[in-house]
């Protein structure tokens, strides 16, 4: 994993050398530039994690450079200004343009190191906050005490110790991104960037710009590969990448370098790739929708996230987690799920997986009342359950209730299923159920099932 990369821009050789020596002793990777043009060249070669920028330089002053960089697509990283002739007005202008801090010369090395550390930490927190605002909250690690989830967590911990690429498969909503973030948090790259690139959201033909960035007329846009340098790049729904972009990505992975769009000099990159997909990439390879060579590059270590219905014993723990989460972070009322509701949800098929469960918890906490979430409330929130043919009885009805109530629930679920199956044709329903039509009508009315609503 590469060290934190710092660019020092100052026209005084002694100061450049001193700062470089101090920072390198602290474990940072340092590049120096003696003027504005050298600084521009360094930015073309590689995106730094932090810039120390002198204000007074012969060819182009630091404030002008700061303004130039901020007018592109925002500053590429935190910038700390340095000057021996600074004024209040200069400091205010630098702050307005986005500089993190302003240090006066002669420099105090202790203050310099502290400011660098704080700037890098502030940048990391800002990126994490942007990520949290952009997507649903994520759990710190995949939740569940089932054998499947325990095995999955152990696999991730072992894989995290090695710097291999990983392919994560599983249904939407099953927790694939959570697993990718957990992998990053357990690896030696945990202090570096985690960048999430949604491949399916890239406009067709724009993948090279998003992945590799661009440069034109001295203006640089850093793509996802450079943003994640030294850290982890998540390629979400990688199967949606077009074949041309797949070839370009393969070239970058093979050589460890790439060209920005419009660029002429190769850019070195060192990053861990985690690819995520809901599709079977081997089938896509056979259908020539996905490059076979790229598949083998990405599939060094495959991980499969099971659907929630495959580890439904974890449902109660997930319910408790999300109740606690929403009560703590969104100030929703704390409510507990009854035993009957938990048993019912354990046997629910969860087509939307963990994401659907999270949404259900949020819904009943917002709309419900009372300390307890009942089975009836859960059924209402999910819609009337329809049992699958040949599904065991306990899949539709909880056993933790009186026999009469359980029988009524079963009859209602059974007749709801028959209504859907036969498009509310009572004659066909009666024949399959082995009931007289008159008796069937009475039974439907007694259970509160309206036929006309289904037609």
Average pLDDT of the segment spanning 190-211: 87
Residue-level pLDDT at 384: 47
Domains of the chain: 5-134 (3.40.50.2300), 150-306 (3.40.50.300), 309-383 (1.10.8.60), 395-455 (1.10.10.60)
Residue 56 has pLDDT above 90, yes or no: no
Average pLDDT of the segment spanning 370-374: 92
When comparing pLDDT for 123 and 156, which is higher?
156
Average pLDDT of the segment spanning 184-210: 88
Q: Which of 44-48, 164-168, 229-233, 275-279 has the lowest mean pLDDT?
A: 44-48
Residue 339 tokens read as 């035993």
172-209 burial by CB neighbour count: b if 16+ within 10 A, else e? ebbbbbbbbbbbbebbebeebbbbbbebeebeeeebbb
Whether the Cβ atoms of residue 303 and residue 179 lie closer than 8 Å to each other:
yes
Q: For the chain, what is the mean pLDDT? A: 85
What share of the chain has pLDDT > 90, as a percent? Answer: 48
CA distances from 350 to 73, 179, 249, 275, 396 (A): 42, 19, 35, 24, 13
Residue-level pLDDT at 399: 61
| Burial class for 274, CB neighbours closer than 10 Å (0-12, 13-18, 19+) | buried
Whether the Cβ atoms of residue 272 and residue 189 lie closer than 8 Å to each other:
yes
**What is the bridge-based pairing of β-strands 166-169 and 272-277?**
parallel
* Separation between Cα atoms, residue 149 and residue 154, nearest integer Å: 9
Element spanning 51, H or E: strand 50-54
Bridge partner list, 303: 168
* The model's pTM: 0.65
Residue 14 tokens read as 């002694």
Residue with tokens 């990369």: 5
Element spanning 366, H or E: helix 353-367
Residue-level pLDDT at 321: 93
Give 295-347 pLDDT, tens digit per residue.
998 988 899 999 999 999 999 999 999 999 999 988 999 999 999 999 999 99
Residue-level pLDDT at 136: 42
**What is the bridge-based pairing of β-strands 257-258 and 267-268?**
antiparallel
* Separation between Cα atoms, residue 414 and residue 408, nearest integer Å: 10
Residue-level pLDDT at 377: 92
Residue-level pLDDT at 438: 74
* Separation between Cα atoms, residue 401 and residue 340, nearest integer Å: 8
Give 213-262 pLDDT, tens digit per residue.
998 877 788 899 999 988 999 999 999 998 988 999 999 988 889 999 88
Give 149-196 pLDDT, tens digit per residue.
999 999 999 999 998 899 999 999 999 999 999 999 999 998 888 999
- The backbone region for 217, taken as left when phi is positive above 0, alpha when psi lies in -120 to 50, beta otherwise, is left
What share of the chain has pLDDT > 70, as a percent? Answer: 90
When comparing pLDDT for 294 and 84, which is higher?
294
Average pLDDT of the segment spanning 409-436: 79
Q: Which of 98-112, 298-312, 440-454 has the lowest mean pLDDT?
A: 440-454
* Separation between Cα atoms, residue 159 and residue 347, nearest integer Å: 32
Confidence of residue 1 (pLDDT cuts 50, 70, 90): low
* Separation between Cα atoms, residue 428 and residue 218, nearest integer Å: 74
**Residue 263 phi, psi dihedral angles, 5° rounding:** -90, 160
Residue-level pLDDT at 112: 93
* Best mean pLDDT range from 82-86, 197-201, 237-241: 237-241
Question: Which residues are CB-contacts of 154 (< 8 A; sequence separation ≥ 6)?
Answer: none
Half-sphere exposure of 453 (CA within 13 A, CB side): 6
Residue-level pLDDT at 137: 44
Residue-level pLDDT at 130: 55
Residue with tokens 């925002």: 74
Q: Which of 99-103, 247-251, 313-317, 428-432 has the lowest mean pLDDT?
A: 428-432
Confidence of residue 398 (pLDDT cuts 50, 70, 90): low
| Burial class for 445, CB neighbours closer than 10 Å (0-12, 13-18, 19+) | exposed
Give 13-42 pLDDT, tens digit per residue.
999 999 999 999 999 999 999 998 899 888
Half-sphere exposure of 193 (CA within 13 A, CB side): 28
When comparing pLDDT for 158 and 2, which is higher?
158
The answer to whether the Cα torsion of 348, 276, 169, 292 is positive or negative is: positive
Residue 105 has pLDDT above 80, yes or no: yes
Residue-level pLDDT at 133: 44
Residue 57 has pLDDT above 90, yes or no: no
């Amino acid at each position: 994993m590469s060290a934190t990369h710092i660019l020092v821009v100052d026209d005084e050789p002694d100061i450049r050398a001193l700062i470089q020596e101090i920072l390198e002793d602290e474990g940072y990777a340092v590049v120096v530039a003696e003027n504005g043009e050298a600084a521009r060249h360094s930015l073309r070669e590689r995106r730094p994690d932090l810039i120390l920028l002198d204000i007074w330089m012969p060819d182009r002053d630091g404030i002008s450079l700061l303004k130039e960089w901020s007018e592109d697509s925002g500053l590429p990283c935190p910038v700390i200004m340095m000057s021996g002739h600074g004024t209040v007005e200069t400091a205010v202008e630098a702050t307005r343009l986005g500089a993190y801090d302003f240090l006066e010369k002669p420099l105090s090395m202790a203050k310099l190191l502290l400011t660098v550390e704080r700037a890098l930490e502030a940048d990391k927190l800002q990126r994490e906050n942007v990520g949290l605002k952009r997507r649903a909250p994520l759990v710190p690690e995949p939740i569940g005490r089932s054998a499947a989830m325990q095995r999955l967590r152990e696999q991730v911990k072992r894989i995290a110790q090695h710097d291999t690429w990983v392919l994560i498969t599983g249904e939407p909503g099953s927790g694939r991104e959570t697993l990718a973030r957990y992998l990053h948090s357990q690896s030696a790259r945990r202090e570096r960037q985690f960048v999430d690139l949604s491949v399916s959201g890239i406009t067709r033909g724009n993948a090279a710009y998003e992945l590799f960035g661009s440069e034109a007329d001295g203006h640089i846009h850093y793509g996802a590969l450079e943003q994640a340098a030294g850290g982890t790049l998540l390629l979400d729904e990688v199967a949606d990448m077009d074949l041309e972009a797949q070839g370009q990505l393969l070239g970058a992975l093979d050589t460890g370098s790439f060209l920005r769009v419009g660029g002429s000099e190769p850019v070195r990159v060192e990053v861990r790739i985690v690819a995520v997909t809901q599709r079977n990439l081997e089938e896509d390879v056979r259908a020539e929708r996905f490059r076979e060579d790229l598949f083998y590059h990405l599939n060094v270590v495959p991980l499969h996230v099971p659907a929630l219905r495959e580890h439904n014993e974890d449902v109660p723990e997930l319910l408790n987690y999300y109740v606690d989460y929403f009560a703590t972070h969104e100030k929703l009322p704390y409510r507990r799920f009854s035993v009957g509701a938990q048993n019912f949800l354990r046997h629910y098929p969860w087509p939307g997986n963990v994401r659907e469960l999270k949404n259900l918890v949020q819904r009943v906490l917002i709309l419900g009342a009372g300390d307890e979430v009942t089975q009836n409330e859960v059924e209402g929130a999910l819609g009337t359950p329809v049992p699958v043919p040949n599904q065991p009885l306990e899949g539709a009805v909880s056993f933790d209730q009186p026999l009469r109530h359980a029988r009524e629930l079963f009859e209602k679920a059974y007749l709801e299923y028959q209504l859907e199956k036969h498009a509310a044709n009572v004659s066909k329903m009666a024949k399959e159920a082995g009931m007289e039509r008159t008796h069937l009508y009475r039974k439907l009315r007694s259970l509160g099932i309206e036929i006309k609503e289904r037609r």
